[in-house]
Structure 1
Amino acid sequence: MAGRAEKGRARRRRGVGTAIRMTAVLIVVLFGAANYLVLDHAIDRSDSFVIETERTLVRNEFSHQIDQVVQYQSQLSFWDKTFRELANGMPGEAFVHDQIRDWMWSDFGFSWMIFATPDGEKVLGVHRGEKVSDRKAREKLQWVSDLTRKAERAYRNALSPDRGGWQVAPAKEDPDLLTPALPQIHVTGMRLIEGTMSIVVVQAVVPKTLYIPAGRLQPTLLVTVKPISQKMLADAERRLGVHGLAFVPIVSVEPGLAMTSVGADAYNPMVASWRPNMPGSFVWHSALPQIALFVLVFAGVMLFGAARFAALVRALQRSEEKNAFLARHDPLTGLRNRSGFDEDLLHAEGAGKGFSILSIDLDRFKAVNDRHGHVAGDIVLQAVARRFSDRVGGQGCVARLGGDEFCVLLAGEHDRESLLALAGNLVLDTQLPIAYGAHLLLIGGSAGIAQFPVHGGTVHDVMVKADAALYAAKNAGRNRAVHAGDIENVASTHAA
């Protein structure tokens, strides 16, 4: 009996031990499963957050590039000289040589510029600075026929009778814009032109007065094509912190590839694609061995789980901080970008005190890129950014708005002489040679100065004045600084 009782107790102990072990195994399995599910969900959310953030950044980047092309094209399509040139037909040889080849092609890189009447009867095409046959120009127009129709409709919808002719509706002023407001008669799209994704802008040529004589009602449309080069994509990658940025057909299906439409063009069969920064893959590869160990050691599970979640939170924080920094800073130079500069401008305007803006463009920068490559161009931009930052110091904020365009914001009151002295020194900084291997790279710069509220009651007005002063400096021979109050004197002196 005692033996049977002992055996019974032994069986019960074994049963209890088995139940405890099974319960322990179940607890460990449940704990591991809970950790697995939580980690998987956190990784999925972090990956989704990173992808959506990068998607927004990519859309904003190409929207900004389209806006830049519209501004560049408007210098020719929204110009009295162009409107007069078209009075008797298509532009002449001198206009094509000076304004299209030596200016728009050389400075802005428009691969195609086509003047055409809506009916296609009159046409003039320039491809990479060289005039082409009417047949080739008309063939190219077929690829953007929907945009030309929209541009003609936009032009005619903007017209209203005035003084025996027609008046184009002016642009609505927006104090938050840093670029000149333009009449809403342009149409944009992104198309695959000659195997390269390109930004296309179409607009009727109109004078600055926006007055159209009765005999000039039929518009002449200007079509410009700006290819998105590998350098532009590489620069965008650096600015956004992504890699593999390219364009693929909208029907592409490839694992691990993030995509988004850009440009709001319904006829564009391509979308922007890139390889997103996915923290999940790294976390999985590093966490799985530890998760297996957690199942065996419960206490280690708790400690390691806390460590991994802390690491994940830190990774998310670093990702958010990086995205926040990229949203306001230029990744190449570390200076403020356009978004960050806009915030500083709004703060300066809201302070209710005076401020000054120095708009600076580099001269002969494109020649450095063409001759020595984009790496040399990046070194030039970084060197100029350091010089500008050292020069301005704590006086104000230096920003790179894009390409070779810089801006300086100086808060508070400044007299004209001190501003000209600072701008002159910044121009001199651009002229100092920059070492690149065995070469000394030489560029130059031009600067325009405007002050609030002397030259405008809004940020937009002051920026317009600063840009106007900058163009006056360029037109006067470059490598100089011009104050907004001296634009007319500089222009008359240069004309003389």
Structure 2
Amino acid sequence: MADKTQNGRSGRRRRVNCAIRAAALMIIGLFGAANFFVLDYAIERADSFVAETERTLVRNEFSHQIDQVVQYQSQLSFWDKSFNALAHGMPDDKFVHDHMRDWMWSDFGFSWMILTSPDGETILGVHRGEKVSERKAREKLQWVSDLTRRAERAYRAALSPDRGGWQVARAKEDPDLLTPALPEIHVSGMRLIDRVMSIVVVQAVVPKSLYIPASRLEPTLLITVKPVSQKMLSNAEQRLGVHDLGFTPIVTEEPGLAMTPVGGDAYNPMVASWRPNMPGSFVWRSALPQIAIFVLVFAAVMLFVTLRFSALVKALQRSEAKNAFLARHDPLTGLKNRSGFDDDVRRIIAKGNGKPFAILALDLDRFKAVNDRHGHAAGDAVLQAVARRFTERVGTEGSVARLGGDEFSVLLTGDFSRETLVELAEALVRDAQVPIAYDGQLLLIGGSAGIAQFPDHGGSLHDVMVMADAALYAAKHAGRNRAVHAGDIDDGVVVQAGAARAA
């Protein structure tokens, strides 16, 4: 009887022990599962956040590229000489040679430039600087026929009767924009041209006055094609911090490939694609071994979860801070970019209550020759060295920004005298002239500067920037390597500078 009782107690203990072990295993399993699902969700959200941020950056990057191409194209389509050259049909060979080959193709790299009437009866095509047959030009025209129709509609919608002819509506000025506003008669899109993704811009050729005589009502459309080169994509990768940036068909389904439409063109079957910076894989590789160990001990598991989530939050904060920095700063020089510069000026205008400020527009001379002769790396070294010198020169008195390419701008808040501003600008010009050591040789460039003050030279940011650009224009045309104050230029220079910047 005692043996049976002892055996019964032993059986109950075994059953209780099994129950406890099962409960412990269940608790450990539930704890591990909870940690797994929470970590998986956090990683998914982190990956989603980074991917969405990069999508915004990529869209903004290509939008900026398109805006630049529109500005470049307008130098030919929004020009009296182009309009006059089309008075009796297509322009002559000299115009094609001087302006379409030696200028637009050589300087801006437009692979195709096509002048055509809306009906396509009259057409002239230039491919890589060489005039081509009408047949080849019409073949390319088929790929952008929707853009030409939209451009013609935009042109006609902008017309209004005036003095026996027609007037093209002027663009609404935006004081927050640093580039001249163009008439709303251009359309753009991204297309696969010659098996290369390209930016296409179409606009009617109009004079600077925007007045169209009655006999010239029928427009001549200018189509320009700017290929998105591998160099452009590589530069964008460096600016945005992404990898394998390119284009892929919209129907592509490939794991780990992020995609987003760019250019706002509904007829474009290609989208931008890249390999996003996903923190999830890194977190998984780091966390799983520790989870497998610490899940055996409840207290250690709790400590591990706390540490891992803390690291995850820090990783997200660093990722967010990095993306926020890239959105407002130039990744090459660390200076504010155009967006950051605009934000600074808006804050000053909003808080300043009319307090004065000054803008110095600076442009490097002979920088393109350095890039062409010594390569992109040498150009980067020049930009970094100049950025350091400008920042050290300006110090705490203002802020330096790189607006793009070799264009810099300095914002100075306060009531500075004309002499002080000219002295500072001349010092910056001298800083740009100091040789830069690179790869065992000295790189030589120059610089020009234009100075404008608020409110002396304009009642808005746009007006001050126009005057600063006009002063810069005067400095370049006076021999470069000098600084010019907006108070020292006449209205004729302002008009010429505005024409050159809008062209």
The alignment's TM-score, normalised by the length of structure 1, stands at: 0.94
Question: SS of 1:253's equivalent?
Answer: coil
| Counterpart pick for 1:367 among 366, 369, 379 | 369
Q: Distance in 2 between matches of 1:115 and 1:447?
A: 37
1:171-201 Cα deviation digits (max 9, x unpaired): 1122222211111100001112223211111
Alignment-mate amino acid for residue 382 of structure 1? Q
- CA–CA distance in 2 between the matches of 1:253 and 1:364? 46
Residue in structure 1 matched with residue 150 of structure 2 by the alignment = 150
Shift of 1:489: 7.8
Contact 1:476 1:491 in 2 (8 A): no
User: 1:491 Cα shift?
Assistant: 4.5
Structure 1 counterpart of 2:122, one-letter code: K
Q: Kindly indicate whether the alpha-carbon contact (under 8 Å) linking 2:101 and 2:129 is maintained by their aligned counterparts in 1.
A: yes
Aligned residues: 494
Matched AA of 1:431: Q
Does the C-alpha gap of structure 1 residues 247 and 90 become closer, same or farther in structure 2, counting only changes over 3 Å? same
Q: Contact 1:472–1:490 at 8 Å: present in 2 too?
A: no
Residue aligned with 1:450, SS? strand
Corresponding residue SS for 2:200: strand
Flag structure 1 segments of 5+ consecutive residues without an equivalent: none
**Aligned twin of 1:83:** 83
Q: Residue in 2 aligned with 1:425? A: 427
Please, what is the CA RMSD of the aligned residues? 2.1
Per the alignment, residue 29 of structure 2 pairs with 29
What is aligned with 2:482? 480
Equivalent in the alignment of 2:411: 409
Structure 2 CA distance for aligned equivalents of residues 304 and 452 of structure 1? 58
Give the AA of the match of 1:417. Answer: E
Structure 1 runs (4+) greater than 4 angstroms displaced: 489-492
CA 1:365–1:105: 2 relative to 1, 3 Å = farther
Deviation of 1:47 after TM superposition, in Å, equals: 0.3
- Residue 397 of structure 1 corresponds to 399
Q: Deviations over 1:68-90 (max 9, x none)?
A: 11122222222223222322333
Please identify, of 233-242 and 275-284, the stretch whose mean Cα deviation from structure 2 is larger. Answer: 233-242
Partner of 2:229: 229
Whole-Å separation in 2 of the counterparts to 1:115 and 1:122? 8
- The answer to whether the 8 Å contact 1:359/1:407 transfers is yes
Q: Which residue of 2 aligns with 1:380?
A: 382
Structure 1 distance, partners of 2:318, 2:115, is 50
1:409 & 1:225 partners in 2: Cα distance?
Answer: 35
Amino acid at match of 2:112: W
Q: For the residues of structure 2 that align with 1:40 and 1:370, how far apart are their CA atoms?
A: 49
Q: Find the counterpart in structure 2 of residue 441 from structure 1.
A: 443
Q: Does 1:321 align with 2:312?
A: no
Match in the other structure for 2:240: 240
Flag the 1:138–1:366 CA change in 2: closer, same or farther, 3 A. Answer: farther
Tell me how far apart the structure 2 counterparts of residues 410 and 457 of structure 1 sit (CA, whole Å).
Answer: 16
SS in 2 for 1:13: helix
User: What is the aligned-residue identity percentage?
Assistant: 76
2:162 aligns to what?
Answer: 162
Q: Which amino acid aligns with 1:175?
A: P
How far does residue 388 in structure 1 lie from its aligned partner after superposition?
1.3
- Matches for 1:127-206 after TM superposition, within 5 Å: 127-206=127-206
Contact 2:112 2:125 in 1 (8 A): yes
Q: Which moved more, 1:482-491 or 1:452-461?
A: 482-491
2:500 corresponds to = none
The letter of the residue matching 1:481 is: A
TM-score by length of 2: 0.93
Distance, in Å, in 1 between the alignment partners of 2:329 and 2:100 is 34
Code of the aligned partner of 1:36: F
Shift in Å, 1:305: 0.9
Further displaced range: 422-431 or 332-341: 422-431
Letter in 1 for 2:292: A
Aligned partner of residue 207 in structure 1, secondary structure: coil
Measured in 2, the distance between the counterparts of 1:44 and 1:253 equals: 19
Q: Distance in 1 between matches of 2:123 and 2:484?
A: 39
Give the C-alpha shift of residue 239 in structure 1: 1.4
Equivalent-residue separation in structure 2 for 1:420 and 1:220 (angstroms): 45
Q: Is 2:470–2:493's contact at 8 Å kept on the other side of the alignment?
A: no
Greater shift, 124-133 or 379-388, is seen at: 124-133
Distance 1:449 1:58, change over 3 A: same
Q: What's the CA shift string for 1:50-70, capped at 9, x where partnerless?
A: 000100110011111111111
Alignment of 1:335 with 2:331, yes or no, is no
Give the 3 Å change call, closer, same or farther, for CA 481–139 of structure 1 in structure 2. farther
Which residue in the other structure is 1:9 paired with?
Answer: 9
Go from structure 1 to structure 2 and tell me whether the alpha carbon gap of 1:148 and 1:446 turns closer, same or farther (over 3 Å shift).
Answer: farther
Distance in 2 between residues matched to 1:443 and 1:143, nearest whole Å: 42
SS in 2 for 1:482: strand
TM-superposed CA distance for 1:224, in Å, is 1.6
* Change in CA separation of 1:431 and 1:113 when aligned onto 2, cut-off 3 Å: farther
Match of 1:308 in 2: 308
- Quick one: distance in 1 between partners of 2:446 and 2:133? 37
